[in-house]
Amino acid sequence: MRIGELAERAGTTPRTLRYYESRGLLTARRTEQGYRTYDEDDLRLLQQIRTLQDFGFELEETRPFVDCLRAGHPAGDSCPASIAVYRRKVAELDGLIGQLQAVRAQVGAELLRAEAELPHGPEPRCELGTEWDTEREG
């Protein structure tokens, strides 16, 4: 298949495919006329790259998965190098989750403090609502 068809089937653009090629993640074969051609294996590589990027992997982090598929393995994550990337990503995500939990705890504490300091009078009205009510009455 040609570059446009592969891009369409993979849900990307020919420009992205040329970029992947320049990074060594995708290898195009050439026709006698110089057109790039690809096959179903290339589509599998792209699907692997796109899935990993959807999970937040950087492009370079997809390389071991691509190399694993190119080596003939049934899945891009059935090689030790791919497993190592998974482990690093899980550790990175665990760190981010910890940071988010700490921020959430701080924001929650600030909310409790702010609510405790509210006067026991009526709920404050939104100024936008006040303007809107005034316009409706007038």
Q: What's the pLDDT at 54?
A: 93
In terms of pLDDT, which residue wins out, 111 or 135?
Answer: 111
Find the helix packing angle between 14-22 and 40-54, rounded to 10°: 90
**Alpha carbon separation from 82 to 4, 10, 77, 87, 94 (Å, rounded):** 29, 22, 5, 9, 18
> Rounded to whole angstroms, how far apart are CA atoms 3 and 137?
64
Stated as kind and residue range, the H or E segment containing 29 is strand 29-30
Q: Are 36 and 29 in contact (CB under 8 A)?
A: yes
Q: What's the pLDDT at 115?
A: 84
List, for residues 112-135, the tens digit of each pLDDT value: 888 888 776 456 566 665 555 555
Q: What's the pLDDT at 3?
A: 93
Amino acid at 72: G
How would DSSP label each residue in 47-113? HHHHHHHHTT--GGGGHHHHHHHHTT-SSTTSSHHHHHHHHHHHHHHHHHHHHHHHHHHHHHHHHHH
Percentage with pLDDT > 70 across the chain: 86
Average pLDDT score over residue span 46-69: 94
List, for residues 68-99, the tens digit of each pLDDT value: 999 999 899 999 999 999 999 999 999 999 99
Mean pLDDT for all residues in the chain = 88
> Rounded to whole angstroms, how far apart are CA atoms 29 and 38?
7
> Rounded to whole angstroms, how far apart are CA atoms 39 and 29?
9
